[in-house]
Amino acid sequence: MPAIALVFALQSSAPLADQFAAIAKNAQAQAGQYSDVTFEAVNPTNDITQQIGAVETLINKKVDALVILPNDGSQLTSLGRRAMAAGIPVINLDRIFDSAQSYRTWIGGDNYRMGLNAGNYIAQKLNSKGTVVEPEFLPAKPVKPLSAAYPPQALQSGKAGYVVVEFLLDSKGRANKAKVVESSPPGIFDGAALAAVSGGRYDISALGDDKTKRSRIRISFKP
């Protein structure tokens, strides 16, 4: 009996959580139409280590097909290639792997068309009298919590603060050309915040067709 596994990252934001739950539910319903198909939905947290562990387990179980909607395609590329080498077809949903050798086929949404349709819908509801504004900066969403080292002197003195960092988000979820645009108190936490942001990986689902987009994130420091 063919065994098909769907692996997707558990999302903390309600809209994405609902979307992913709907994907799993619909896939389960479709599989239920075939008596010779066994379907299993696996939803680890958005921690990349747990996602990797889930996929490794399914590869070792020798399922007949893997459908993977990763939180970060880059970090699961090697596992996709490993599954393909083991003879397990991989269907890559949405966030694409770095190598075409890591999947049999890729299924992605047209973010530009979805945005255009959403804008037209809003304009229709407002009778073309409203204004649709696109944010200048994309709010950065780390795929896992950033780890910022607390400056020793600030920690010893019990000093708190925050830093707002701006960077260019690329299609692999990396932060490029990070710079401080606001901090309080000035200069105390800047270096720690820049190091944390530059070393992080970020959700690219809102990037659309853009190769890069300006993003911002606020890092808080509390002793």
pLDDT for 62-74, tens place per residue?
Answer: 999 998 888 777 7
More confident call, 180 vs 28: 180
d(CA 107, CA 111): 13
* Helix boundaries (H) for 61-187: 77-85, 111-125, 152-156
Q: What domains does the chain contain, in order, with CATH numbers?
A: 3-107 (3.40.50.2300), 138-221 (3.30.2420.10)
3-state helix, strand, coil in the chain (%, to 5): 35, 25, 40
Share of the chain above pLDDT 70, in %: 87
* Digit-coded pLDDT (tens) for 78-91: 999 999 999 999 99
More confident call, 110 vs 83: 83
More confident call, 82 vs 45: 82
Q: What is the pTM for the complete model shown?
A: 0.54
The answer to whether 162 touches 211, Cβ cutoff 8 Å, is no
CA distances from 78 to 46, 57, 82, 89, 165 (A): 18, 15, 6, 14, 31
